[in-house]
Amino acid sequence: MTDTTTATAHPFAAIILAAGKGTRMKSDRHKVLHPIAGRAMLDHLLDSLAQASLARTVVVAGDRHEQLCSALAGRNVTVALQEPQLGTAHAALQAKEALTDFSGLVLVCFGDCPMVRADTVRRLFAALDGGAKVAVLGFRPDDPLAYGRIIAEADGTVSKMVEYKDATEAERACNLCNSGLIVAHSDDMWPLLEAVGDDNAQGEYYLPDVATGAIARGEKVVVIETDADEVAGINSRAELAGAEARWQAARRIRAMDEGATLIAPDTVFFSWDTVLGRDVTIEPNVFFGPGVTIADNVLIRANSHIEGAKLASGVKVGPFARLRPGTVLGEGSFVGNFVEVKNAVLGEGAKASHLTYLGDATIGAGANIGAGTITCNYDGYFKHKTVIGERAFIGSNSALVAPVSIGADAIVAAGSTVSRDVAEGELRMVRAEQLVKPGWADRFHDAMKKKKAAEKK
């Protein structure tokens, strides 16, 4: 007999079902690899499970399993193949070989339900503490649609689980629906899975029949409930967009709860790993891609796009700025409107106020980059670096042809194309000599006006 008195302390293995074809996505990408907040839905789920002390993981794949193997390479995850696809219970059973040496709780869940929380998984495990053999997760959606139903007593004891297609009208009237998450000890899970038959409308081996089989054996099955959004499956682009919207809404609330000001919250989009300090102000229409860390007291002006960047305290960005991967902005630095920064470091107090491209560059503290300046970092084959010293002044409309170094306190005159290093404190002016012809413009205008008048006659 399985001892479940300390079920929450047992190691657990997760079987993640991801063998479906995902035809409604109309995509060449495997369904569970579609991203939410810049991260594959499968990775969201794996992260949540890891927070609940996950010991072993088996992902059951079918169609496009090569994509899953590639995406999971290097991780402590086993991919088991279901071929042919004969239903969810059959899919879960394909993980048995990979878990032959595992003894503990076994959780079966779906790869297209990425928002399952670690706390919910722990509650599901704890539901076994009262002597139940199987615990399932239920929810009550606004519209039960064609979800499978869970028929349960007020204390959570399950008397029957039934797929919608096999349910009676009375059973369909029940609004407690099956999320698909189910847990049992390994000693119980494998025999229950092996006993599942295919005597149903679809002729498939259904996972809920694990619970049905336990009930038939006189074992106790219990259900715990969660909210519908947490277990909403993603089967189409519209459902993917809905999951993204729910994730973003929750992240915006969290950002404000943690001390950030969002002027127009619904227009700000975060990545799964965005880190915000306190007293950060974010104006409308700001997008964060992966890999952004922002310290305290930073201002992000409207219509800016930021990814792969690290911003120190007191930084000001935008409006209409683009920070690309490898950007590091030092304390109190400023990147203004229509400035693009890529793989570049701006030192403390450095500023590039407008209309500038800074790529593959290191810019010293207090340096000033004038409007229209570009670092010419690519020669068609290789990237090269520009180094600008502390307090250097780069005049407007300058082109710095890398590799090149500008010394501390140096000045590059406006309109210069600099292809050789500039020493500290030096003025570099690279301009053609101006040609002056007094009265030439007046004579030109007179001649053109006479010519135009003659053509009209």
Which residues touch 52 (CB under 8 Å, ≥6 apart)? 12, 118, 121, 122, 125
Q: What confidence tens digit (pLDDT) does each residue in 99-133 have?
A: 999 999 999 999 999 999 999 999 999 999 888 99
Q: How far is CA 155 from CA 130, 150, 220, 222, in A?
A: 12, 13, 12, 8
In whole angstroms, how far apart are CA 408 and each of 60, 366, 413, 446?
59, 10, 15, 51
DSSP-H helix ranges across 263-384: none
Q: Percent of the chain scored above 70 by pLDDT?
A: 98
Domain boundaries of the chain, sorted by first residue:
7-231, 255-428
Cβ-based neighbours of 207, under 8 Å, separated by 6 or more: 17, 87, 88, 89, 91, 92, 108, 180, 182, 196
pLDDT score recorded for residue 53: 86
The pLDDT of 343-348, averaged and rounded, is 98
Distance CA 57, CA 104 (A): 13
Do the Cβ atoms of 357 and 383 come closer than 8 Å? no
CB 243 within 8 A of CB 234: yes
Distance of CA 417 to the CA centre of its chain: 41
Task: Give the model's pLDDT for residue 9.
Answer: 52
**pLDDT-based confidence at residue 63 (cuts at 50, 70, 90):** confident
Please write the tens of the pLDDT for every residue from 283-318: 999 999 999 999 999 999 999 999 999 999 999 999
Contact (CB, 8 A) for 221 and 134:
yes
pLDDT of residue 1: 32
Q: Given this model, what pLDDT does residue 202 score?
A: 81
The per-residue pLDDT for 40 is: 97
- The better pLDDT of the pair 2, 196 is held by 196
Q: Which residues of 150-165 are buried (b: 16+ CB within 10 A; e: fewer)?
A: bebeeebebebbbbbe
- Within a 13 Å sphere around the CA of 310, how many CA atoms are in the beta-carbon half? 9
Alpha helices (H) along 98-185: 118-126, 169-172
Q: What pLDDT is recorded for position 248?
A: 98
Under 8 Å between Cβ of 68 and 59: yes
Can you spell out the DSSP letters for 220-239?
A: -EEEEEE-GGGG----SHHH
Neighbours of 275 (CB within 10 A): 14
Mean pLDDT of 150-171: 92
Contacts of residue 190, Cβ cutoff 8 Å, sequence gap at least 6: 93, 96
Cβ proximity of 57 and 43 under 8 Å: no
Residue among 386, 351, 383 nearest 366 (CA): 351
With contact defined as beta carbons under 8 Å apart, do 412 and 406 qualify? yes
Give the predicted TM-score (pTM) of the model: 0.89
**Which pLDDT belongs to residue 7?**
40
Q: Above 70 in pLDDT, residue 454?
A: yes
4: confidence class by pLDDT, cuts 50, 70, 90: very low
Supply the DSSP symbol for 352.
E
What is the per-residue pLDDT for 431? 87
pLDDT at 259 over 60: yes
When pLDDT is averaged across residues 351-373 and rounded to a whole number, the result is 98
Set 30, 44, 185, 354: catalytic member: 354
Task: Give the confidence band of 5 by pLDDT, cuts at 50, 70, 90.
Answer: very low
Query: Do 198 and 86 meet the contact criterion of CB atoms below 8 Å apart?
Result: yes
Residue at token pair 């594959």? 40
Instruction: Identify the pLDDT of residue 354.
Output: 96
Q: Which two tokens stand for residue 350?
A: 């450095």
Q: 317-328: per-residue pLDDT in tens?
A: 999 999 999 999
Residue 356 confidence (pLDDT) above 90? yes
Place 141 in a pLDDT band, splitting at 50, 70 and 90: very high
Q: Catalytic annotation on 185?
A: no
Cα gap 139→111, rounded to integer Å: 18
Q: What is the mean pLDDT of the chain?
A: 94
Phi, psi at 382, each rounded to 5°: -135, 155
Mean pLDDT of all residues in 161-179:
91
pLDDT for residue 201:
74
Query: What mean pLDDT is predicted for residues 237-259?
Result: 97
Is the pLDDT at 146 greater than 70? The verdict is: yes
- The predicted model gives 258-275 an average pLDDT of 98
What's 420's DSSP letter? S
Name every residue whose Cβ is closer than 8 Å to that of residue 73 and which is 6 or more positions away in sequence: none
Span 347-369, average pLDDT: 98
Query: Taking 90 as the threshold, does the pLDDT of residue 333 lie above it?
Result: yes
The full length of the chain comes to 457
Q: How far is CA 298 from CA 294, 304, 337, 390, 456, in A?
A: 7, 13, 16, 22, 63
pLDDT of res. 3: 37
pLDDT digits (tens, 9 = 90+) for 66-75: 999 999 998 9
Query: Distance between CA atoms of 12 and 186, rounded to whole angstroms?
Result: 9
Residues 337-366 as b/e (b if ≥16 CB within 10 A, e otherwise) read bbbbbbbbbbbbbbbbbbbbbbbbbbbbbb
Helices (H) and strands (E) in the chain, counts: 9, 33
For the domain spanning 255-428, the CATH number is 2.160.10.10
Superfamily classification of domain 7-231: Spore Coat Polysaccharide Biosynthesis Protein SpsA; Chain A (3.90.550.10)
**pLDDT digit string, tens, across residues 75-100:** 999 999 999 889 999 999 999 999 99
Predicted pLDDT at 145: 82
